[in-house]
Chains A and B, each alone.
Chain A
Amino acid sequence: MSQDALVVLSQVEKRFGALVVLRDISFSVARGKTVCIIGPSGSGKSTLLRCVNALVPVSSGSIVIDGIKVNDPALDKIALRRKVGMVFQQYNLFPHRTALQNVMMAPIHVLKQDRHEVEERARRLLAKVGLADKERAYPGELSGGQQQRVAIARSLAMNPLVMLFDEVTAALDPETKKEVLITIRELAEDGMTCMIVTHEMGFAREVADHVYFTEKGVIVEHGPPRELLLNPREERTRAFLNQVL
């Protein structure tokens, strides 16, 4: 464990009724590092991310982000979510607002920042994700990959400490996948702390500092990407990688 751990999970457990979705999940993410979480569908990866920004409450264990205890019953969810950005598989942009307005909404109404300042920053962010010419477009007029990049810019506009990516390329075709993955890689290289749930093994190998393989709600194996993806120790990891590669 690093001294400068930004996200610390210890013995996190999540049950939906009798169904145990996460069991004894413990790890930490250091500031500026990127972790990838891989594993078969239904292994609880998405639920894990949702626990981190309190969209889903944990059943037991603790999650601490930059000093905020996520599992605290008196948690100020708004304060937590200001620090944690999240991008979803289905983009979930607000369809009645333009790309630029989508990016500007939260900083103006949640952080109460000055509109002109926010607008300038939003333009910069859209340019950063390669969509400077699409600021007036409505989500319905953008391709999936473009929408997803707007969603990333929208999340970044809150200046989060950590970004969560939940299978953000799963709904995209190979062409547009690449644009989104490049955007995320640039982010990670710029020093953003990222937690990425993905099925893209090549991407995980490139971008991650550490990779976790989960199955049936437990961490089966973890390690640096080269080691885990090329020479897995566990039989189950090997079986999974053989199937997806």
Chain B
Amino acid sequence: MTTLPVLLVPRPLPQRRAGELPKGLFGGGLLAAVLAAFMISILAADARAAIGNAASSDVLPILLKWSPLVLHGFLFNLLVSVLSMAIGTALGLWLGLGRVSHFPWLRRAASTVIQFFRNAPWLVLLFYCMFLLPFSITLPFATVPLPDTAKAVIGLSLPVMANVAEIVRGGVQSIPMEQWESGEALAFSRSQILWMVILPQCLRRMIPPWMNLYAILTMSTPLISVVGIQDSMTLARAALVAEGRTDLFIPMYLMLLSWFFLYCYPIARWTTALERRFQVRI
């Protein structure tokens, strides 16, 4: 017998208190799958070692031996992601406000910048920053060196900036025009309305896409290994070269992958939870 969905009694949405995180932030199933893949790859590598002539023992001790080094690199990736996000957000806020400005020329200029950096491949931007930015910047009072890491952070913050600007634009434009009007009728200036009426209201709507962007940025940080910066990818590769064993490839990279996953997946889950909550509230 078929049941028409329209005839079903509507079920109430699961209620959750404000601020409470969803149960199982790690979404049991997916996490188990990643860990299982990791374990299977270790067992498979062991099995191959046992059958073949490889003299060595288990894969797990080798991974454990190298993991502090790779973890160090991983933490460096996170540092780069935080710095890029901070710079990109600070710049993107102003760029986004320029995009909704009253001055047509400012709007057009901001729009051009946003479109350019949103539609350029991240790796290409990274290369440009590595090769076009100088080694040091000479200021009137001092010469500030610009290490490769700083260049990489700048390179990653550019696309972040453009995406944050789009989030800000979307947020500001999602507030009804009547809010502007009633602010104007109360003799507020345009910038007072923006900072005191409009932005506080769209902050809540901007946080989920902003967190989403951060997760994407974090997963993109291994790109810096391509331009010669020692991050987790570089160190994992170095460890593999040092061991000289091809059967370590899959477990090693799966280990790194699962760290990124453990870091980014809760952010994604949290984002979804926030989105759902804000949807109900608004």
B-binding residues in A (CB < 8 A): 53, 55, 77-78, 81-82, 84-86, 88, 90, 92-96, 105-106, 109-110, 151, 154-155, 158
Contacts and interface: CB of A to CB of B under 8 A. Distances in A.
A82 B179 CA distance: 18
Given A90-B178, A92-B179, A96-B201, A109 B184 contact: no
A95 B179 CA distance: 9
Nearest 8 A-B pairs (CB), nearest first? A92-B182, A81-B187, A86-B185, A106-B186, A92-B178, A110-B187, A82-B187, A96-B200
A25 B185 CA distance: 22
A88 B179 CA distance: 11
B181 interface: yes
Interface in B147-184: 178-179, 181-184
Contacts of B192: 109-110
A155 B201 CA distance: 21
Nearest to B203: A96
A151 B183 CA distance: 12
B115 interface: no
6 contacts: A55-B185, A86-B185, A92-B181, A96-B201, A105-B196, A155-B186
Contacts of B189: 78
A77 B184 CA distance: 9
B187 A158 contact: yes
B270 interface: no
Given A95-B201, A96-B200, A96-B201, A106 B182 contact: no
Nearest to A106: B186
Contacts of B196: 105, 109
A20 B66 CA distance: 79
Interface size class of B (residues with CB under 8 A): 10 to 19
B188 interface: yes
B34 interface: no
A110 B186 contact: yes
B126 to A, nearest CB: 39
B197 interface: yes
Contacts of B186: 81, 105-106, 110, 154-155, 158
Interface in B175-224: 178-179, 181-189, 192, 196-197, 200-201
Given A81-B185, A92-B179, A92-B182, 17 more contacts: A53-B185, A81-B186, A86-B185, A90-B178, A92-B178, A92-B181, A93-B182, A94-B183, A106-B188, A109-B196, A110-B187, A110-B192, A151-B182, A154-B186, A155-B185, A158-B186, A158-B187
B182 A88 contact: yes
Nearest to A109: B192
A86 B181 CA distance: 10
A202 B201 CA distance: 39
B188 A85 contact: no
Taking each of B187, B189, B196, B197, which has the highest tally of chain A beta carbons within 10 Å of its own beta carbon?
B187
B113 to A, nearest CB: 30
Contacts of A105: 186, 196
B282 to A, nearest CB: 9
Contacts of B181: 55, 88, 92
A78 B187 contact: yes
A92 B197 CA distance: 11
Taking each of A94, A95, A109, A158, which has the highest tally of chain B beta carbons within 10 Å of its own beta carbon?
A94
Contacts of A53: 185
A210 to B, nearest CB: 24
A105 B186 CA distance: 9
Contacts of A55: 181, 184-185
Contacts of A90: 178
